[in-house]
Every structure is written in C-alpha cells, then in structure tokens.
Structure 1
C-alpha cells in the first residue's frame, strides 16, 4: 500500500513529538514496524552520547524515504508488532541499544524502551 506523496511529505515535516504519536498509532493500527537493512544487518547509528540506536518507522514508505546517503544500499523490512514488543525491545534493552523513532533525514525521537513499550501497550487498549 503506497501512500500519497503529499501525505509522506507533510508527515515528515511534523515536529518529532507529533511524528512519534503518529508512529504509535500507525504501528498499532497495522500491527507492524519497519526498519532498514542490508546484507550486513539492520541500520544503526549513535545518539549524542554515543549510545547505539536502531531506527524504526511506521510504514515501508517512510523507511524507504530514509534509504539514502549512508543507508542507500538498504531496503525496508517489516517487523511484526508482537515480535517487536516481545523480542526486539527486550533484546535491545539487554544489548544497550536505544530505539530511534521516525527519523526524517533530520531528527528522530530517542526514547527509553520502557516508555516506548508503555505507549504501544496504551494504544493497544484502544483496539
């Protein structure tokens, strides 16, 4: 399901907190999370404190939009929401990796794993 370019552009221009809220609603609605990967693995970066981060988007289109520059040889890949909650988040916590939510080529929301999990679970109550 490809989204209208105007929606993509408009959403990418939202402030980080609004993109985060959109992310939570979309991933719960579609029951999937997206990231970028290549043959070497998932895209990662470091935050300002040199903490490793994995990057996540709400849809394939948003992830693909960020497959440029150092990530140009990556492709969007879907992660099932249940796997994300039950396997990815605990694994990231154990490995000291933070989530970077909805990067838009400028910034993203860096958030504690526990807060992200609680926000997802809170949204799940609406379904």
Structure 2
C-alpha cells in the first residue's frame, strides 16, 4: 500500500471506507482491532449515543492514528474472519456492543451491529473472485 493510497483511503467518506473494509477483509481474510498490554481490546465510548463500540480496521496500518493518539499503549491485533464470525460476533452481541467500521479519527463513522457486519462480509466473500 502506497502512502498516497493510504491517505486517500483515510480521506474517504465512512460509507466508502466501509466498502474498502469489506473488499480488503475479503481479500486478506482477517480484520484488525487494537489491544492494550493486558490484551484488552479498545472500546470507543460515545457520550452522544451513551454506548461503547468496537473499532475494526481492514489492515494494521490504518490503526496507527489510534495507537499514537491514545493514553495507553495499544497495538494492532489480527482476528481471522472465522474467529470473528464464531467468537466475536456472538460475544459482542451478548455484551451489547456495536462496531465502528474503519474509523479514521474524525466524527464521520459507520456504526453497525456485529451481525450486520458479518452478513455484509459473507456477501463480500460470495462476490469475491478467488
């Protein structure tokens, strides 16, 4: 990934970043979250919505703004798609956490339920040419 394409992708609307997310995850077969030194995953709290969300990215490189702008030490962690489907989606739904897909540091974010992300990823896989 070139620096120009990285910056261009980050500058896209949340809807366009969502489409990039689906495409990249279908291609790479994993998605990325951030964890601290205790292996606890980052949750973003929204005062406006009075809720917490799990941010996910299509590539570790896109997590850098969050790693650098946080008080605690964070590092990217890969989650395979099968693990996401089998463990994370049910766990997030049980805990009432939605997903912020591919945040870029501004207020323009795409929020979805875990099952909606799973359904869209499954559709992306069915449209993906191997």
Provide TM-score, normalisation by structure 2: 0.89
Note the alpha carbon deviations across 1:70-123, whole angstroms, 9 max, x for none. Answer: 256211111111101111011100011111110101032111222211101111
> How far did 1:56 drift?
0.3
- The count of residues paired between Structure 1 and Structure 2 equals 125
Tell me, yes or no, if structure 1 residue 46 matches structure 2 residue 45: yes
Note the alpha carbon deviations across 1:25-46, whole angstroms, 9 max, x for none. Answer: 1111100000111124111112
Equivalent residues of 1:66, 1:103 under 8 A apart: no
What are the within-5 Å matches in structure 2 for residues 1-127 of structure 1?
3-40=1-38, 41-47=40-46, 48-70=48-70, 73-106=73-106, 107-127=108-128
**Tell me, which stretches of 5 or more residues in structure 1 are unaligned?**
none
**Tell me, which stretches of 5 or more residues in structure 2 are unaligned?**
none
Equivalent residues of 1:44, 1:54 under 8 A apart: yes
Equivalent residues of 2:35, 2:76 under 8 A apart: yes
| Structure-2 separation of matches of 1:65 and 1:34 | 14
Structure 1 segments, 4+ long, off by >4 Å, are: none
Q: CA RMSD in A?
A: 1.4
